[in-house]
A and B are shown apart, each in its own frame.
Chain A
Amino acid sequence: MRRKQFLPALAAGLLLAAAARGQVAVRILSPEPGQPVFGATDVRVGVQAGPAIDRVEIYVNGELAGTARTPPYHVQIDVGEDNIQREFRAVAYTPTGATGSDSVVTQPVMINDEMNLRLRALFVSVTRNGQRALDLGREDFQVLDNGAPQEIVTFGRDELPLTAVLLLDTSESMQGKRQEAVRRGAKAFLDGMKPSDEAMLALFSDRLLRFTPFTSQKSTLESAIAGTQAAGGTAVNDFLYMSLKLLDARQGQRVVVLFSDGSDVHSVLPASDVLWKSRAGQALIYWIQLGGKHESFTSSWRDFKANDQEYRELEQAVRESGGRILTIERLEDLEGAFRNVLKDLREQYAVGYYPNNAKGDGKWHKLDVRVKGGARARTREGYADY
């Protein structure tokens, strides 16, 4: 409290001293440095100047957000609800063009307690002697988050609704038979969906050629596949990031099913952004590849080494998400691959827990799921604690 009373008094003193020297002295009186701010925010500015003041402009994160023309200089600004750091800057102008300015940086709220309330859902595939084990109960599982045992609070299999993004490469190289095979593959996936499931279809090249909203209506999805002309290059990262981002706001079991050779030439985002997004989210990524082996290439954007690195990071994003890479050699196998993805998802156990060691610091949490009786479990490798 003593500090709060002292600061305005000090500021006023400094302003008066500056005005006495004929300068334009500006101080932001509210908000205070370090204070968290959300929504409608009062910005109050003290100005002392020898000459008259024409106006005081208020900037938030470099954007002009408001202007006050008469004292007391006060503007109310809606800064939004995101819990982030913000920079407020006030610039005072005299009619002759002289200026003075001040800035204040506010901080986000540390919400460790809230983090403890965020349920983490793991989707776990379990095999025993090479076969799927589908008869397990909650008591058969143990979840270790950074080595710390967790209490399983939700458990089930094939109960949660599925939300999928079918992200299909429709670049120029996909013309003709390939595109027709992809259409059949996607249809096989859609045919296996339950009424409570939803999907979004996105056909991309270096552009977004066509997409649907999330819907359960198979006819909407199927008609979107038909009649799209394959054209252009490939931008996997950009559209995979978009898909993961759109799934953030969905509930239940979330998955991106990507069909592409993964040779990204045209994205503005690097694969590291996709990896980051995958680590921070809860969606699985399944990647169906035709031909399998990655071939190095150069582009105007990256050399061989950098493109190889991109490819590896994309593989890493899939692996860490708990999804799989399915490689097929023949177009005829594409339908089966899409069906296998759906089967894989249906046979997963959904295991939920509230992490007892969450801090919201963005650090990596390694996950380990153990199953009794010698069965093998596969799930996401970990997550970034945001």
Chain B
Amino acid sequence: MRVRTEGKLAGRPVLWLALVWLSAGLAAWAQPAPGTQKGSGTLGLRAGERLSPARIQEVYRKILADWSAGDTERAPDELIELESAVVSDADAGTRKVLLKAEQAVIHQVGAADLEVLVPIAVLHHEAYRRLLKRGFHGHALAMIHTRTMTRDLAILYHDQSGSEGASLVSSRLLTSLGGLLQQSAQQLPAAEMFQQAFTLDAKNAAALLGLAAIYEKNTQTESAVKLLRHVLEIEPGNAEAHLRLALNLRRQDHHDEAAKLLQELTASTDPSWVTPLAFQELARLDSDEGKTADAEKVLRQALRRYPNDLRLHVQLAAVLDRRGAPGEATALVEKALTLPAGEEAAARFLYNTVRPDAFAAARAFLDENSRSRLPVLAQALGAPPAPAGTGVGR
């Protein structure tokens, strides 16, 4: 889905000037990140280099031009290089210098067309994603800067446009950002992103699900249940929401409803990682209630469907051990050792962290909306437009 709004960046109070996140103790991370050693990037900038505001603006414009020309591999790396060179963890003032310079450029190009904010925000988002992936030692403040830029540009775009389409784009930017934060175990800022995303779009199920997962992990099961019921009102077929609702209900001792939800999931044909987990948890519920015969039945059914799932083998072995069948239990454990290493065993890890597909839709939506606006950005910069079919390429 592609959305478009009309408008220009007017002289309203710029919200993001006020939004600066500074963390204490940043100087402790003083090692340069891989690929950001001085002079090693394509721009040839050195870490800690004192660039004049005019030079920063010049380089930032070049990066935006590369991005608008469809150079989606190089532009985010150049942005990382610029921001890491200018911003020093030891001096919070350096971030202000960078912020002002980038603001000035954004004001210039935004005055032509408000829509340029979308590809610029997506560029910062992509830079942040790459920084997270590479590790952020020595560049904590630069990382916070690019993350904050993404968030503030999203909110600015929404506030300045006021259209429903802008709400959708901004909401998904914040959702994707929240997903990245959640993935790097930054629960509180992730929760704030999801909350803001939900405020902008009340039907954003991915943001609600992300927020519910954070509540769940922090033992706030009542809040999680409330959000998950809301997700299922928006997307009745959301298997992950079903599973999380069932497990949160179980933690609240609502075993009957939990069992009913889990039985529905095990009866479904959903091909995702959710279904084997539903089998495991249904059997766990039965075992906890002393219904080991039922647990055995569930697990045998599960193994017919997932014959290579190591955890199901181990779980059935433990049930059979308790039911007085140690021989078959041993055979199952021995068989488990011969199973091919697969992704099934990682499902419990995914449940406790971030699911691989959780934010894919939001990112695809952003990519499409950024791509469609690259010509507008190129025009505003006076640069050649991107060739057709250019995308972020994740």
A binds B: yes
Query: In the assembled complex, which residues on chain B have CB atoms less than 8 Å from the CB atom of A209?
Result: 341
Judging by beta carbons under 8 Å apart, are A245 and B330 in contact? Answer: yes
| Residue A233 interfacial (CB < 8 Å) | yes
Judging by beta carbons under 8 Å apart, are A266 and B330 in contact? Answer: no
| Residue B152 interfacial (CB < 8 Å) | no
Judging by beta carbons under 8 Å apart, are B317 and A207 in contact? Answer: no
Stretch at the interface among A89-97, A273-281, A314-322: A273-281
Judging by beta carbons under 8 Å apart, are B349 and A206 in contact? Answer: yes
- Tell me which of B247, B284, B328 contacts A82 (CB under 8 A): B328
| Residue A219 interfacial (CB < 8 Å) | no
Which chain B residues in 314-348 approach chain A with CB under 8 Å?
A: 314-315, 317-318, 320-330, 333-334, 336-337, 341, 345-346, 348
Query: In the assembled complex, which residues on chain B have CB atoms less than 8 Å from the CB atom of A206?
Result: 345-346, 348-349
Q: How far is the CB of A105 from chain B (nearest CB, A)?
A: 11
- Tell me which of B217, B218, B321 contacts A245 (CB under 8 A): B321
What 0/1 readout, one digit per residue, does chain A (54-70) give for beta carbons within 8 Å of chain B? Answer: 00000001110000000
Query: In the assembled complex, which residues on chain A have CB atoms less than 8 Å from the CB atom of B217?
Result: 298-300
| Residue B296 interfacial (CB < 8 Å) | yes
- Tell me which of B321, B324, B336 contacts A277 (CB under 8 A): B321
Q: Which of B216, B217, B325, B348 has the most CB of A within 10 A?
A: B348
Bound CA span A82–B330, Å = 11
- Tell me which of A108, A268, A303 contacts B315 (CB under 8 A): A268
| Residue A139 interfacial (CB < 8 Å) | no
- Tell me which of B213, B324, B333, B353 contacts A108 (CB under 8 A): B324
Judging by beta carbons under 8 Å apart, are B351 and A300 in contact? Answer: yes
Judging by beta carbons under 8 Å apart, are B318 and A83 in contact? Answer: no
Which A residue sits closest to B317, measured CB to CB? A245
Judging by beta carbons under 8 Å apart, are A238 and B352 in contact? Answer: no
- Tell me which of A82, A208, A298 contacts B345 (CB under 8 A): A208
Bound CA span A277–B322, Å = 9
Which A residue sits closest to B219, measured CB to CB? A303
What 0/1 readout, one digit per residue, does chain B (209-251) give for beta carbons within 8 Å of chain A? Answer: 0000100111100000000000000000000000000010001
Asked, given contacts A206-B348, A303-B219, whether A269 binds B314 with beta carbons under 8 Å apart, the answer is yes
Which B residue sits closest to A171, measured CB to CB? B349
| Residue A81 interfacial (CB < 8 Å) | yes
Query: In the assembled complex, which residues on chain B have CB atoms less than 8 Å from the CB atom of A81?
Result: 327
Q: How far is the CB of A386 from chain B (nearest CB, A)?
A: 8
Q: Which of A233, A241, A242 has the most CB of B within 10 A?
A: A242
Judging by beta carbons under 8 Å apart, are A232 and B324 in contact? Answer: no
Q: How far is the CB of B216 from chain A (nearest CB, A)?
A: 5
| Residue B280 interfacial (CB < 8 Å) | yes
Asked, given contacts A108-B324, A233-B349, whether A61 binds B296 with beta carbons under 8 Å apart, the answer is yes
Q: How far is the CB of B213 from chain A (nearest CB, A)?
A: 7
- Tell me which of B318, B320, B322, B346 contacts A207 (CB under 8 A): B346
Asked, given contacts A268-B280, A268-B314, A298-B217, whether A82 binds B352 with beta carbons under 8 Å apart, the answer is no
Judging by beta carbons under 8 Å apart, are A83 and B324 in contact? Answer: yes
Judging by beta carbons under 8 Å apart, are A268 and B311 in contact? Answer: yes
Asked, given contacts A82-B324, A211-B337, whether A304 binds B349 with beta carbons under 8 Å apart, the answer is no
What 0/1 readout, one digit per residue, does chain B (236-278) give for beta carbons within 8 Å of chain A? Answer: 0000000000010001000000000000000000000000000
Bound CA span A304–B218, Å = 9
Query: In the assembled complex, which residues on chain A have CB atoms less than 8 Å from the CB atom of B107?
Result: none
| Residue B376 interfacial (CB < 8 Å) | no
Judging by beta carbons under 8 Å apart, are B348 and A208 in contact? Answer: no
Judging by beta carbons under 8 Å apart, are B213 and A248 in contact? Answer: no
Q: How far is the CB of B248 from chain A (nearest CB, A)?
A: 9
Which B residue sits closest to A206, measured CB to CB? B349
Query: In the assembled complex, which residues on chain B have CB atoms less than 8 Å from the CB atom of A248?
Result: 326, 330
Asked, given contacts A82-B328, A300-B213, whether A208 binds B310 with beta carbons under 8 Å apart, the answer is yes
| Residue A80 interfacial (CB < 8 Å) | yes
Q: How far is the CB of A343 from chain B (nearest CB, A)?
A: 30
Which A residue sits closest to B339, measured CB to CB? A208
Judging by beta carbons under 8 Å apart, are B325 and A269 in contact? Answer: no
Query: In the assembled complex, which residues on chain A have CB atoms less than 8 Å from the CB atom of B323?
Result: 84-85
| Residue A351 interfacial (CB < 8 Å) | no
Query: In the assembled complex, which residues on chain B have CB atoms less than 8 Å from the CB atom of A207?
Result: 310, 341, 345-346, 349
Which B residue sits closest to A62, measured CB to CB? B297
- Tell me which of B216, B326, B348 contacts A268 (CB under 8 A): B348
Which B residue sits closest to A301, measured CB to CB? B352
| Residue A235 interfacial (CB < 8 Å) | yes
- Tell me which of B213, B247, B318, B341 contacts A269 (CB under 8 A): B318
Bound CA span A94–B333, Å = 41
Bound CA span A266–B353, Å = 11
Q: How far is the CB of A308 from chain B (nearest CB, A)?
A: 13
Which A residue sits closest to B332, measured CB to CB? A245
| Residue B300 interfacial (CB < 8 Å) | yes
Which A residue sits closest to B312, measured CB to CB? A268
Bound CA span A248–B346, Å = 27
Query: In the assembled complex, which residues on chain A have CB atoms less than 8 Å from the CB atom of B348?
Result: 206, 233, 235, 266-268, 301
Q: How far is the CB of B355 from chain A (nearest CB, A)?
A: 11
Judging by beta carbons under 8 Å apart, are A80 and B327 in contact? Answer: yes
Judging by beta carbons under 8 Å apart, are A246 and B328 in contact? Answer: no
Query: In the assembled complex, which residues on chain A have CB atoms less than 8 Å from the CB atom of B352?
Result: 233, 265-266, 299-301
Known A-B contacts: A249-B330, A299-B352, A301-B351. Give 11 more (CB < 8 A).
A108-B324, A207-B341, A209-B341, A232-B349, A235-B348, A245-B317, A276-B321, A277-B318, A300-B351, A300-B352, A301-B348
Sample 16 A-B pairs with CB under 8 A, ordered by A number: A82-B324, A238-B314, A245-B329, A245-B333, A246-B333, A246-B334, A248-B326, A267-B348, A268-B284, A273-B318, A300-B216, A300-B351, A301-B351, A301-B352, A303-B251, A304-B219
B residues engaging A (CB < 8 A)? 213, 216-219, 247, 251, 280, 284, 293, 296-297, 300, 310-311, 314-315, 317-318, 320-330, 333-334, 336-337, 341, 345-346, 348-349, 351-353
Q: Which 10 A-B pairs have the closest CB atoms?
A: A82-B325, A303-B219, A206-B349, A266-B348, A300-B352, A207-B345, A233-B349, A245-B333, A84-B324, A268-B311
